[in-house]
Structure 1
């Protein structure tokens, strides 16, 4: 099946970055080229074949000779994080949305097995097996791996529109962690390799040296320079308030006598960039773009699709199950816990989200016990109405406890008798 966008017939001469993003996202959805989470709009797509593409990282000479590798935190690059750890290299992962700092250095247990390294490369592993790396750390990054929404064979890159990869690189340049010889790699689906007009690329935009896809390794020989630091006029006070580490860097550069004048207006110059991008609620604090399809915890959709989870062992805490669901990237909108019956029900926003969660939950084992995931009986047979998608409550016993993922306390520990 043809899966490469013919850019000559897709993008007009006046196409913006946002036009290109939308076309790529629409194409991936139309051709069903992505895994969970879906839809891919406003995300770095978790494309099918990401594992094969990431595995090509190990064949790059620049990777083989590197000691410290920075890999972005998105799901499609998880295998890249694993490959880096397996090669016994130092792995740095940016703090999600730069909320609490710049990097996390992943520190696997001594003598970690391959399975333990896979855990360390996951979202949960990044949280549990890492130490922070601050601006004043003496770090040299040999290789940078970023995600993209679109990239050209000439090395021109378009992200999802929030500018985090560009800012991360700019901060690394400011702290001396990267220089003009640092190699930048992006890992994408073949259809994400498109023609990008050079006039769309600005001074703060990160370019790439290699593109890895499931079928190709492209050396771009990009001639455009990479950012040499943060361009403060591209930022505003609102952005600084959201990213405290930017405020710290600005103070340091101001002390060093550099011009740190901010822009008078938000840097968002196109739809979807930074403050104009629709905000999505997340069920947990974790890696960027985690959690899949999420709605308000107070207002669930009228129609949900429910997954039955059986075989829950006695003594398992609901918090442990929620952790396992997050690790599998399958957190539901709502979890109904019936531990005394050794089961739980997981509500998802629509049949597609439920099917993707089912795929992610196959082979799930908690505390040595295998759990069985399948569509709840009320979901079988293709029913889609709001009434049929509401799980019937048991007719006896106290009302079951429900709680959205991400709640910090254990109020859902009470089980339905």
Structure 2
């Protein structure tokens, strides 16, 4: 579906729609058709996803004096943002309020203690079948949000779920065996040209399926951890998923297979133009030459310059103190704590990260960059007070809070592109960059 829509130019900005809900052409027309439904007119509070193609729905809902709640991206810092229409606001002001930037500025965070009731749910989709099966971008956040709302009593199994899509995103059939008990089906499908009422409605999830969630998933979502603690206090036995088979793990394995760790990579293309001018043996040696040539050793230098063994020993003795001095200068500082940043786009470079950190006044001692995995580590040192006790915990909340809602690279204008931030233990470094060199 992503390939088809991109090839046929059926999307608006952002045009890179892979692993996203496509911002399809005609989203505004589909939104206008949605607000004409009785289900919309009778609703007072609507939960609408934060994706770009549903922005017209958010605008029209606010214009119709509806209250809307929008999930905080990836549920990192909370659950929902609650937006109430502003009396006397102009259309331009409502459009700004319906954007992700406006929601972040004017939205009121809702926690687990909220008693709000939702009358209607509007989701985005990548693909949907006429009998109600829905495929999202594959990360399961819409399903998890639905389960959490069921657990909180915000919605019921009778709450109507609508999706707005392009006509091409509708298929006649999706194999039911693809879908699990936690997948949320849709009741109404709205496109720029038609409205489809799914009959009979498919069964919806009844709540949170803890055995499908891993410990790592809970650590990245504080609100999920709070729900778990509440259930355990009520005497419920909770067993989590033992293996965390998330997308990040699959991406790492894929890259390891593609680029074996101990296998050299050669720059064949660069040297191929000189093959014809060399002998067969010379061309072969040049093509197989490593991209990063090995540093000349003392043995090779001795053979080329005819340096005697005695002279070589004297040279080593003279240079030894200088080498030891350099080694002392490069001694790594003690690391007090580290942060892991994930959800980094493949097009982002380490210099982009440095610039973004400097804009926020964050200066880590070291950066461990693993861009091929979409992650990096920030290492901090010298954060303790001189008078602090050795076992006194380090206050890192201010740094973590400063990194919230950070976007880098191609995700700068995308509401889904927030960088994930979580504490991490220092790991073996693949590439370490000194931020002071910027």
* TM-score category (smaller protein): 0.5 to 0.7
Aligned residues of 1:155 and 1:220 also touching (Cα < 8 A): yes
Aligned to 1:180: 157
Distance in 2, Cα, partners of 1:201 & 1:33: 27
Q: Which 5+ residue runs of structure 2 have no aligned equivalent?
A: 253-342, 354-358, 361-408, 420-438
For each residue in 1:156-183, what CA deviation from the matched residue of structure 2 results, as whole angstroms up to 9, or x when unmatched? 0111111000000000000001111100
Secondary structure of residue in 2 paired with 1:55: helix
Once the 2 structures are TM-superposed, how far is the Cα of residue 83 of structure 1 from its aligned partner? 1.1
Once the 2 structures are TM-superposed, how far is the Cα of residue 133 of structure 1 from its aligned partner? 0.8
Distance in 2, Cα, partners of 1:292 & 1:119: 26
TM-score, with normalisation over the residues of structure 1?
A: 0.61
**Distance 1:205-1:96 versus aligned 2 partners, 3 A rule:** same
Distance in 2, Cα, partners of 1:107 & 1:294: 37
1:117-156 matches, within 5 Å, as 117-156=94-133
Q: Is 1:255 paired with 2:242?
A: no
For each residue in 1:212-248, what CA deviation from the matched residue of structure 2 results, as whole angstroms up to 9, or x when unmatched? 1111111112443111111011110111111111101
Q: Is 1:74 paired with 2:69?
A: no
Distance in 2, Cα, partners of 1:222 & 1:257: 37
**Distance 1:140-1:248 versus aligned 2 partners, 3 A rule:** same
Secondary structure of residue in 2 paired with 1:117: helix
Q: 1:296 aligns with which of 349, 359, 363?
A: 349
The size of the alignment, in residue pairs, is: 272
Q: 1:53 aligns with which of 30, 42, 52?
A: 30
Structure label with greater radius of gyration: 2
Distance in 2, Cα, partners of 1:277 & 1:172: 30
Aligned residues of 1:146 and 1:187 also touching (Cα < 8 A): yes
Distance in 1, Cα, partners of 2:14 & 2:178: 29
Once the 2 structures are TM-superposed, how far is the Cα of residue 267 of structure 1 from its aligned partner? 5.1
Q: 1:64 aligns with which of 38, 41, 64?
A: 41
Q: Is 1:233 paired with 2:207?
A: no
**Distance 1:69-1:294 versus aligned 2 partners, 3 A rule:** farther
Aligned to 2:318: none
TM-score, with normalisation over the residues of structure 2?
A: 0.58
Aligned to 1:114: 91
Secondary structure of residue in 2 paired with 1:39: coil
For each residue in 1:62-109, what CA deviation from the matched residue of structure 2 results, as whole angstroms up to 9, or x when unmatched? 111011100000001000101110110111000111011111001343
Distance in 2, Cα, partners of 1:36 & 1:221: 34
Aligned to 2:303: none
**Distance 1:186-1:142 versus aligned 2 partners, 3 A rule:** same
Secondary structure of residue in 1 paired with 2:32: helix
Distance in 1, Cα, partners of 2:120 & 2:347: 34
Aligned to 2:82: 105
Aligned to 1:207: 185
Secondary structure of residue in 2 paired with 1:59: coil
**Distance 1:200-1:111 versus aligned 2 partners, 3 A rule:** same
CA RMSD between the two structures: 2.9
Q: Which 5+ residue runs of structure 1 have no aligned equivalent?
A: 1-23, 279-288, 301-317, 320-347, 358-404, 407-417
Distance in 2, Cα, partners of 1:275 & 1:107: 40
Once the 2 structures are TM-superposed, how far is the Cα of residue 298 of structure 1 from its aligned partner? 1.1
Aligned to 1:276: 250
Once the 2 structures are TM-superposed, how far is the Cα of residue 259 of structure 1 from its aligned partner? 3.1
Secondary structure of residue in 2 paired with 1:144: strand
For each residue in 1:345-367, what CA deviation from the matched residue of structure 2 results, as whole angstroms up to 9, or x when unmatched? xxx98xxx9xxx9xxxxxxxxxx
Aligned residues of 1:78 and 1:121 also touching (Cα < 8 A): yes
Secondary structure of residue in 2 paired with 1:81: helix
Distance in 2, Cα, partners of 1:275 & 1:140: 37
Once the 2 structures are TM-superposed, how far is the Cα of residue 277 of structure 1 from its aligned partner? 5.5
Distance in 1, Cα, partners of 2:47 & 2:33: 16
Once the 2 structures are TM-superposed, how far is the Cα of residue 292 of structure 1 from its aligned partner? 9.6
Distance in 1, Cα, partners of 2:236 & 2:177: 28
Once the 2 structures are TM-superposed, how far is the Cα of residue 111 of structure 1 from its aligned partner? 2.1
Distance in 2, Cα, partners of 1:48 & 1:259: 47
